[in-house]
Amino acid sequence: MREILADQIIDHIKDMCIEANCHVSQDILQAIKEKKEVEASPIGKNILEQIEENAYIAKNSMMPMCQDTGMAVVFCEVGQDVHVTGAPLTEAINEGVRRGYEEGFLRKSVVKDPFFRENTKDNTPAIIHYDIVPGDQIKLTLAPKGFGSENMSKIAMLKPADGMAGAKKAIIDIVEQAGANACPPMIVGVGIGGTFEKAAFLAKKALLRPVGQQSAVPYVKEMEQELLDDINCLGIGPGGLGGFTTALAVFIETYPTHIAGLPVAVNISCHATRHCSRIL
Amino acid sequence: MAIQLDLPLTEDKVKKLKAGDQVLLSGTVYTSRDAAHKRMMDQLEQGEELPFAMEDNVIYYVGPSPAKKDAIIGSAGPTTSYRMDPYAPSLLDQGLKGMIGKGDRSKEVIESMKQNKAVYFAAVGGAAALLADKIKKVDIIAYEDLGTEAVRKMEVENLPLIVVIDCEGNNLYESEKEKYNRRVEHV
């Protein structure tokens, strides 16, 4: 049984909070650059330029790219031959978030109770998804999620008869309703199948894929491309102020489901889609 | 070319602004978002004075990230405006002349903007480090306990904005989207 110290996990999570919030990832920056060259709307083009300039300022001054530094979402793959010592794993992850948000001057946006809304002042608790996998490593992926776009996410419980066409329409409708509120250009994460909560989880997990990396499943890959083309025909554009750059990517994850159902969840993310991973 | 616009925002200035205008805004703006708006509403109902006079002023919907030691503010981009829609008409009735945020507004807000001659600006959502660069001075003037949601008085210099809804109700979110809309129906 391999041992990993909780302190190591704390340090990694802390550093990842700061790194993810201040560095626009290369895949997104590259996509913004490419779209800037072809965007037909002058206002849209100008917004893409501002997004690009913002990325440089954020990186150079180690400032968060967006003031909404999100709720910390952690995907944690735990090898079944690993033993965490010194503190429970969940506590270590939360302590890492606590330190990262404090030391990185990141905004603390979490409230204790959904109605009474007192700020926890340290951005904890994180949302943690555990997956037990073979091996003796831990893979940590941190994805801070802002709520401008999170608020625009939705799930549709379709009928099997709605099929692929129905799923596509539901996804496009959700993106269209999100419009300017979700800080386009967006990354659209889609989860199809499973149960109500599995579909939502898959939609969030889909957002972790780098822009440009399409699904390995041929029909899903085709669906992703068609949806991206259709979404970019909605006219929403950068900032919602018109244009052909509404989304940079559509990522779909699927899962087996029940004979009676077709859950389709859409987790919308803004151009400030952030994530970074480390393997311990 | 962007229009240089200085605050306060008088009715004369508002009337000249048209949806689609790019603006570089300079002067004093006040920040307020969800929790601060709710408190201001409570104060209005109680007949109490608001933390700042609305007349000819502009509210920036922002909850900045904390300032580092050598900085006056952290990242400071716009937050989504529709959450402030239930409160905006009351503040417009008090003389508020401009709002800065992102995303569309409700019919009620647009009607109130037409009636009260006010304008809605969008800043680029997520461009928070770039926008923070244009903020030169910051003071918390009310509701300090709300942290990032406290009301701040800010001096801004050449804050890059776009007039999205003007005082006649012309709405760029609708008109520009229409220009590029090629929606294909599959079902």
79-98 of B, contacting A, C-beta below 8 A: 79-80, 82
153-182 of B, contacting A, C-beta below 8 A: 160, 162, 164, 172-173, 175-182
Q: What mean pLDDT is predicted for residues A43-49?
A: 96
Q: What mean pLDDT is predicted for residues B103-111?
A: 97
Q: Is the peptide bond preceding residue A88 cis, with omega within 30 degrees of 0?
A: no
* Per-residue model confidence as pLDDT tens digits over B6-33: 999 999 999 999 999 999 999 999 999 9
Distance between CA atoms of A163 and B184, rounded to whole angstroms?
A: 18
* Per-residue model confidence as pLDDT tens digits over B22-78: 999 999 999 999 999 999 999 999 999 999 999 999 999 999 999 999 899 999 999
* Per-residue model confidence as pLDDT tens digits over A139-194: 999 999 999 999 999 999 999 999 999 999 999 999 999 999 999 999 999 999 99
pLDDT at B186 over 70: no
How far does A66 lie from chain B, in Å, by closest CA?
5
Q: Which residues on chain A are in Cβ contact (under 8 Å) with B104? A: 179-181, 240
Q: What mean pLDDT is predicted for residues A80-90?
A: 97
* Per-residue model confidence as pLDDT tens digits over A238-251: 999 999 999 999 99
Distances (CA, A) of A185 to A32, A57, A118, A277: 9, 19, 32, 23
Would you call B124 and A51 a contact, using CB atoms and an 8 Å cutoff?
yes
Question: Which residue's structure tokens are 């608001």?
Answer: B50
pLDDT band at B187 (very low <50, low <70, confident <90, very high): low
Q: Looking at residue A38, what is its pLDDT? A: 96
Which value, in Å, is the radius of gyration of the alpha carbons in chain B?
Answer: 16
Q: Out of B33, B37, B97, B105, pick the active-site residue.
A: B37
pLDDT at B155 over 80: yes
Q: Is B186 designated active site?
A: no
